[in-house]
Structure 1
């Protein structure tokens, strides 16, 4: 599959270097249209809110989101949590929360509490504990640092 994609890309680039305008237009169309943040949020909310969505599709959507260079909005996080509750997969809900926390990166001290504040009503409604309530925020077998007094 990779070789087919590489071959198609090479032929498209070759055509654009020669000056064939139809191939240049085809390459430009590959980028698609830009969508606003609201449209992006609605698309993923709709994806997670579908009737009949199963665990595999939920995992696929979550994996796609966590692979992007962004932190999911609270609305998307809530939609993902509701989807995990519909399929009755608490482990997936916890992993979703861990993934969203990890996506906060170096802004974890400010961004993650904001996200928790926004999604706490949904967590309570669905009966899903936070990572901190479960004690998953600290490693179980961690040793005290020799540098701590």
Structure 2
């Protein structure tokens, strides 16, 4: 009841004050600065390379990246893997690889092999297995389809 009343009041205020969604969008566009892809990569590489970073901060950075509409570059992925290694969290490193694979979306057949090719030396250096080496790419307990029986 209160939510409905508050919604109606907000709509009435919007009409009297004259604030439209296009004005709100224009204000949001003016906020902040544009940053190039290189600057973006450097910012996250620097974030993961910080001295004294802990597991929570690594997870925060990874969740922020995976929440964006992009596939992280190999440099960022490597930086995240190195941060996981510094805190000795292999589970987080594998989750990071899974999240990056997921972000490839319908381009998994082309993007994910490219990413693996670029980050394989780092994976070998850090001793982190790939998802395929662990067998996590195939469901372990999946039931057979009833149509295949």
Query: Does residue 135 of structure 2 align to residue 139 of structure 1?
Result: no
Distance 1:15 1:32 in 2: 25
Matches within 5 A, 1:37-76: 37-76=37-76
Match of residue 4 from structure 2: none
Query: Does residue 77 of structure 2 align to residue 77 of structure 1?
Result: yes
Match of residue 120 from structure 2: 120
Match of residue 129 from structure 1: 129
Distance 2:78 2:146 in 1: 40
Distance 1:118 1:52 in 2: 27
CA pair 143-28 structure 1, distance change in 2 beyond 3 A:
closer
Distance 1:148 1:111 in 2: 31
Residue 142 of structure 1 and its aligned partner are, at CA, apart by 1.4
Match of residue 107 from structure 1: 107
Distance 2:122 2:51 in 1: 19
Normalised by the length of structure 2, the TM-score is 0.80
Size of the aligned set, in residue pairs, is 133
Q: Any stretches of 5+ residues in structure 1 without a counterpart? A: 1-6, 18-23
Distance 2:76 2:68 in 1: 14
**Structure 1 runs of 4+ off > 6 angstroms?**
none
Q: Any stretches of 5+ residues in structure 2 without a counterpart? A: 1-9
Residue 87 of structure 1 and its aligned partner are, at CA, apart by 0.2
